[in-house]
Amino acid sequence: MKQVIRKGLKHIIVDEVPDPLVTPHHVLVRPVCSLISAGTETASIHQDNVLKEVAEKPSHLQTIWNAVSSNGPIPTYREVKAKFSEYAVLGYSGAGIVVEKHATVQDLEIGDRVAYGGEGTGHGETILTGRNLVARVPRGVAYEYAAFATLGSIAMNAVRTARMELGDRVAVIGLGMVGQLVAQLARLQGAVVIGMDLRSDRLELAKKLGARKVIAAGDGAREGVSSATDGRGADCVIVAAAAKSSAPARQALEICRDRGRIVVVGAVGMEFPWNDMYLKEIQLYMARAYGPGSYDPSYEKRGQDYPFAYVRWTENRNMEEFLRLVADKAVDLQPLITDRFPLERAPEAYQKILDPAGGTLAVILDYEQIEPEEFRPRRKVEAVRPAAAPGKRDLGVALVGAGNLARWAHLPNLKKIPGVRLRSIYSASGVRGKGYAMRFGAEFACSDYDEILQDPAVDLVVIVSRNQDHARQALAALRAGKHVFVEKPMALTVEECRELCAAVRETGKHLTVGFNRRFAPYYVEQKKQLKRRTGPAVINCRVNSPGISGAFWMADPAIGGAILGEACHFVDLMYWLLESEPVSVSAYSLPTETTEPVGQNNIAASFRFADGSVANLTYCTVGSRTSGGERVEVFAQGIGAFTADFRELTIAGEMRHKKSKWFPAKGLGELMQSFVKGIHDGRQPEITVVDGARSTLGCLAMLESARSMAPFEIDLETATAPPADAATPRQ
């Protein structure tokens, strides 16, 4: 499908990307029209030079330094450079026809006329969006008007947040597209609207659309508002402007009456003089996107609606209500449409919007219309052609999951290994998959995993997707005759471990897990010290991961949380350092009744090993970012060795030696190289499916011990034995 893309920081292109695959609680929409938002969308198009951007936002430098500290200067330079050609989606509002739906969506049908929204949906020929971000279009409402539903719901949420009453004097600062909609909706709410903007043409339009009075923003605006409010000031000021400065916010304070209300819906600076805010006792509100449900994954992605009786106006119900007003002709949208372009000419549309002299408000993109039965998704798109025919020993590699770990580590590492041919990038986001394929030289990008499984040129599948998908994708790849590199955790349940162990035995294919610490230089040296021991050892692991908290998906215990998702590294590390099986664990967690911090993600556990060794693992997400990440200490008779954050190693024996690195050496490249070489040589991987099963079982044992507050025995056979139905031949 064709998609509008921001390439790098400011270039707008239309490129061919894979059509999305429908997912639970989502539908596929074939747009007829989409709307370019002159405010929100253009804010992400950086027209200024890089030095000016950095000067205005010095925090960029801190971000770069943090990346250098965590990953090293060369990978950071590579990523900063990539920003100038990286693909990103633009757009979040349109209308069209439902052409495909997931079985979990019961109340929409193929062929329904709908308006859609949602961050990242974009301007493309096929849109994947959540059910709660789709609203039916009433009969008689044209698609170009229905495409305003998202912007209309943003304006409606601002009006609801303002809590205005009949007769309130409401000033609207910023009469762009959202401001014009806010002004019309405020008038419908019974307010006397005062429109304010720097542009005379927008003031005239607001007057035409029902504003009682319009005033040029800036010097003199206070007197104009005072005159329109009998000297009292505005009861409410809605800031719908877009500005890097705090000038609109300060003007809102200036014209607002004592104990009045300010509602901020636009992206503006918010530096208010404290004394003036205090003396006027101003109430300040933020209007967040379309209304309740915005940015809530449970609502937007998992289809969980809020109860009508408790949340009357969700973002979906705001969209529906705005479309009703359009159907009743209570809102006039035609004067807001200043330009129309076909999808192929989207770059021209953005040029027009970005021209400050153009006076552009709403720009409609038009799409070629098709009937739902004519919909033929294309989920595989060629990216680059191989420079030469592959060699006989070239290993065809497909990467699954175009995330940060893939671009920072695995893809650059694969490019360095001789005899590797990057065949494909799979991503649910067609734009990201195509962008990664172009950047790293993959032959095609796809949004359907079956394209990889059915490709005979793919020998190895590298799985870097989300944790809950690892086992399913690895199992499918093994059964399709592919070798598998799967990031940790290999699996989330004992049954998944059993199935993977059985699949490796049945297929004879290699599977390894991304336990990179086994290849990190300082951990390798630490193990060498322990090899000198003559008796049991003591290990202490302390891990601090404050990033795995809040709404971050890895914090969710339902999909393993931080323990199965990250602490599995250290269960494997302890086994590898000791070369002895863990046999039991006792663990305690923080209280599990609170939503934050997540108790299950904060655990102190004590392990006992078959050779008599013991180990403590303390994993927490409540620490500070300055507390360090991980520290591992090992002790045996006359032996002590300590590592910290892949950068420090201290060996304490008869003498004390300390080593340090400027930047962390994590062993990711060495791990990948070892696995690929093993496939070429016919050698079993150093990290096997049994190691993946052990780490999952150890983490499950920790969680169960913390839940029951009792020791838990660890029996590796329970996670590696054939599944219960193993006697049934696979078809």
Residue 562, H or E segment: helix 561-562
**Residue whose C-alpha is closest to residue 249's, from 236, 239, 257:** 239
**Residue whose C-alpha is closest to residue 663's, from 651, 645, 643:** 645
336: Cβ contacts below 8 Å, ≥ 6 apart: 148, 177, 180, 181, 205, 361, 362
Least confident of 12-26, 92-106, 588-602, 687-701: 588-602
Q: How confident is the model at residue 637 (pLDDT cuts 50, 70, 90)?
A: very high
**What token pair was written down for 229?**
């409010």
Q: Which residues pair with 135 in a beta bridge?
A: 115
- pLDDT of 728 strictly over 80: no
- pLDDT of 49 strictly over 80: no
- Mean pLDDT, residues 114-118: 95
Per the CB < 8 A criterion, the answer to whether 87 and 431 are in contact is yes
Q: What is the pLDDT of residue 84?
A: 80
Q: What is the pLDDT of residue 150?
A: 95
Q: What is the DSSP string of 566-613?
A: IIHHHHHHHHHHHTS-EEEEEEEES-SS-TTTTGGGSEEEEEEETTS-
What are the Cα distances from residue 125, in Å, to 20, 133, 332, 375?
10, 18, 27, 10
Going by the DSSP 8-state scheme, the letter that residue 22 receives in this structure is: P
Residue 680, H or E segment: helix 668-681
Q: What is the pLDDT of residues 117-170, one digit of tens each?
A: 988 788 999 999 999 999 999 999 999 999 999 999 999 999 999 999 999 999
Round to whole Å and give the CA distance between 645 and 665.
9
The CATH architecture to which 380-516 belongs is: 3-Layer(aba) Sandwich (3.40)
Q: What is the pLDDT of residue 164?
A: 94
Q: How far is CA 254 from the centre of its chain?
A: 39
Q: How confident is the model at residue 564 (pLDDT cuts 50, 70, 90)?
A: very high
Q: Which residues pair with 584 in a beta bridge?
A: 608, 713
Q: How confident is the model at residue 625 (pLDDT cuts 50, 70, 90)?
A: confident
Report how far apart the first and last C-alpha atoms of the chain are (Å, whole number). 35
**Residue whose C-alpha is closest to residue 131's, from 302, 375, 309, 312:** 302
Q: What is the pLDDT of residue 730?
A: 35
**Residue whose C-alpha is closest to residue 355's, from 371, 334, 338, 332:** 338
Q: What is the pLDDT of residues 245-286, one digit of tens each?
A: 899 999 999 999 999 999 999 888 989 999 999 999 999 999
Per the CB < 8 A criterion, the answer to whether 249 and 270 are in contact is yes
Q: What is the pLDDT of residue 58?
A: 60
- pLDDT of 727 strictly over 90: no
**What token pair was written down for 148?**
């305003």
- pLDDT of 51 strictly over 70: no
Q: What is the pLDDT of residue 721?
A: 87
Q: Which residues pair with 171 in a beta bridge?
A: 194, 237
Round to whole Å and give the CA distance between 99 and 370.
10
**What token pair was written down for 582?**
């863990």
Round to whole Å and give the CA distance between 326 and 337.
14
Q: What is the pLDDT of residues 339-383, one digit of tens each?
A: 999 999 999 999 988 887 778 889 999 999 999 999 999 999 998
Kindly report the backbone phi and psi dihedral angles of residue 256, in degrees, each rounded to the nearest multiple of 5, phi listed first.
Answer: -80, 140
- pLDDT of 57 strictly over 90: no
Round to whole Å and give the CA distance between 330 and 335.
14
Q: What is the pLDDT of residues 647-680, one digit of tens each?
A: 999 998 777 889 999 889 999 999 999 999 999 9
Q: What is the pLDDT of residue 157?
A: 97
What are the Cα distances from residue 593, in Å, to 299, 442, 586?
22, 46, 20
- The residues of the chain that CATH labels 3.30.360.10 are 518-664+686-719
Q: How far is CA 299 from the centre of its chain?
A: 15
- pLDDT of 623 strictly over 90: no
SS3 content of the chain, % helix, strand, coil (to 5): 35, 25, 40
Q: In percent, how much of the chain has pLDDT > 70?
A: 94
Q: How confident is the model at residue 327 (pLDDT cuts 50, 70, 90)?
A: very high
- pLDDT of 314 strictly over 80: yes
**What token pair was written down for 218?**
């800036």
**What token pair was written down for 175?**
């009469």
Going by the DSSP 8-state scheme, the letter that residue 132 receives in this structure is: G
Q: What is the pLDDT of residue 391?
A: 62
Round to whole Å and give the CA distance between 471 and 411.
21
Q: What is the pLDDT of residue 487?
A: 97
The CATH architecture to which 152-286 belongs is: 3-Layer(aba) Sandwich (3.40)
* E-state strands within 391-534: 395-400, 420-426, 444-446, 460-463, 483-486, 511-513
Round to whole Å and give the CA distance between 704 and 711.
9
Q: What is the pLDDT of residue 688?
A: 97
Which residue has tokens 């308006």? 115
Instruction: Provide the H-helix boundaries in 239-375.
Output: 247-255, 274-280, 297-300, 315-327, 346-354
Q: What is the pLDDT of residues 575-589, one digit of tens each?
A: 999 999 999 999 999
Least confident of 214-223, 527-536, 716-725: 716-725
pTM beyond 0.85: the answer is yes
Q: How far is CA 302 from the centre of its chain?
A: 15
Going by the DSSP 8-state scheme, the letter that residue 335 receives in this structure is: G
Amino acid at 430: G
- pLDDT of 616 strictly over 90: yes
- pLDDT of 52 strictly over 60: no
Q: How high is the mean pLDDT of the chain? A: 91
518-664+686-719, CATH topology level: Dihydrodipicolinate Reductase; domain 2 (3.30.360)
- The residues of the chain that CATH labels 3.40.50.720 are 152-286, 380-516
- The residues of the chain that CATH labels 3.90.180.10 are 2-45+90-148+296-373
Q: What is the pLDDT of residues 415-456, one digit of tens each?
A: 999 999 999 999 999 999 999 999 999 999 999 999 999 999
> 420: exposed, middle or buried (C-beta count within 10 Å: 0-12, 13-18, 19+)?
buried
Round to whole Å and give the CA distance between 576 and 515.
10
Which residue has tokens 């920081």? 9
Per the CB < 8 A criterion, the answer to whether 115 and 150 are in contact is yes
Q: What is the pLDDT of residues 453-511, one digit of tens each?
A: 999 999 999 999 999 999 999 999 999 999 999 999 999 999 999 999 999 999 999 99
Q: What is the pLDDT of residue 725?
A: 58
Per the CB < 8 A criterion, the answer to whether 130 and 26 are in contact is yes
2-45+90-148+296-373, CATH topology level: Quinone Oxidoreductase; Chain A, domain 1 (3.90.180)
